Amino acid sequence: MKIAIINDTHFGAKNDSPVLLEHFIQFFEKQFFPYCQKNNIEEIIHLGDFFDRRKYVNFNTLNQVRTRVIEPMEKMGMSMKIIIGNHDTYFRNTNKTNSPQELLEKYFHIEVVNEPKELIYPDVSIGAVPWMCEDNMDTCVEFIKNTKAHILLGHFEIIGFEVLRGVYHDTGLQREMFDKFETVMSGHFHLKSRHKNIEYLGTQYQMGFTDVNERKGFHVFDTKTRDLEFIQNTEELFHRIVYDDSLSDELEKLDFPSFKDKYVRLIVQRRNKPVFYEKFMTKLNEAKPYDVTVVDEEIEINYSSIDIDMNMDTITMICKEIDDLSEITNKDDIKSIIKDLYQESLTIDD
């Protein structure tokens, strides 16, 4: 038996951006559902964060998800188990009030997993653990310790995994508590990564510029062989272009029509040909991208005596500055808050 595994769909992301919502749903319509039908996959397990907003739902988002994802899934004879993630919950200290149960559990083909449980299949036992918070922490830890399941699925926050490329999460669950499982698959962190038996599956699709050049897609788990296959998403919504007009031949070869209805970030490193630059921008805008952001790296800034390592990412630079301030005593707490705020900012529209 083969099971399609998805996670962190975040319907309603970026303040219910209609552009992102269309991109998300087209992934299901053009890639996910056709693949499942072609390969006779009838069961889906979702590893949490089905919706993006914790406090309320946008009715247009709900309508689009219902009519283009939930109901077609039922018509195709597919069922889905949704493990609760942190974005699914109204309160931060308990999962008891959550959007999947309020909005989706009425559908017969959907089961919401809000308590740790074992999913029994002919060839394998799979443990399913919802978002671990203050209210259910002891119950979840006890389940992980005592379950006989071979595979563990959940929405975990584990120390030492990358949140963004080069930015590692330094709080949460210890890796060692998962050592007994053959494989642990988790949602939550959007970057695809693996350490020993623990794998963060990453998101199915791009959600921002931090996802440029990152592999996106979904996974298929074979219960008999216990192999996990990655199916790559070939569509990109976000594009980054480095502009250097000393390489004008390469810039002219860009596939401009591919930027239609896409987000484009133009990094200007060298602009010595004003006429060429104007023609380039005209051609780019004629492609009708959804948005173009120009980052001009040619602007001269006097850093005086400030020593900045330009190879550092934003969070590392901020944390280094905090470490260098002797008057701050609770540095770890401050850095943790900064990282949380930075992660939250990535889900806010400009």
At 335, the pLDDT band (50, 70, 90 cuts) reads confident
Average pLDDT over residues 293-312: 61
Tokens of 256: 């401009």
Domain 2-232: CATH superfamily is Metallo-dependent phosphatases (3.60.21.10)
At 202, the pLDDT band (50, 70, 90 cuts) reads very high
How high is the pLDDT of residue 130? 98
**226-268 pLDDT per residue, tens:** 999 999 999 999 999 999 999 999 999 999 999 999 999 999 9
Q: Chain-wide mean pLDDT for the chain?
A: 91
How high is the pLDDT of residue 345? 65
Decide if pLDDT at 278 tops 70.
yes
Average pLDDT over residues 206-233: 96
How high is the pLDDT of residue 307? 54
How high is the pLDDT of residue 327? 65
- Identity (one letter) of the amino acid at 97? T
Decide if pLDDT at 304 tops 50.
no
- What are the Cα distances from residue 192, in Å, to 8, 169, 206? 12, 14, 12
How high is the pLDDT of residue 313? 63
**141-196 pLDDT per residue, tens:** 999 999 999 999 999 999 999 988 888 998 999 999 999 999 999 999 999 999 99
Question: Residue 277 class from Cβ within 10 Å (0-12 exposed, 13-18 middle, 19+ buried)?
Answer: middle
How high is the pLDDT of residue 306? 47
Q: Kindly tell me the number of DSSP H helices and DSSP E strands found in the chain.
A: 11, 17
Question: Domain residues of the chain, as ranges?
Answer: 2-232, 237-299, 306-350
How high is the pLDDT of residue 347? 53
**7-58 pLDDT per residue, tens:** 999 999 999 999 999 999 999 999 999 999 999 999 999 999 999 999 999 9
How high is the pLDDT of residue 323? 77
DSSP string over 67-135: IIIIHHHHHTT-EEEEE--GGGBSSSS-SSSBHHHHHTTTSTTEEEE-S-EEEE-SS-EEEEE----TT
At 312, the pLDDT band (50, 70, 90 cuts) reads low
How high is the pLDDT of residue 178? 98
**69-102 pLDDT per residue, tens:** 999 999 999 999 999 999 999 999 999 999 999 9
At 326, the pLDDT band (50, 70, 90 cuts) reads low
Count of other CB atoms within 10 angstroms of residue 252: 12
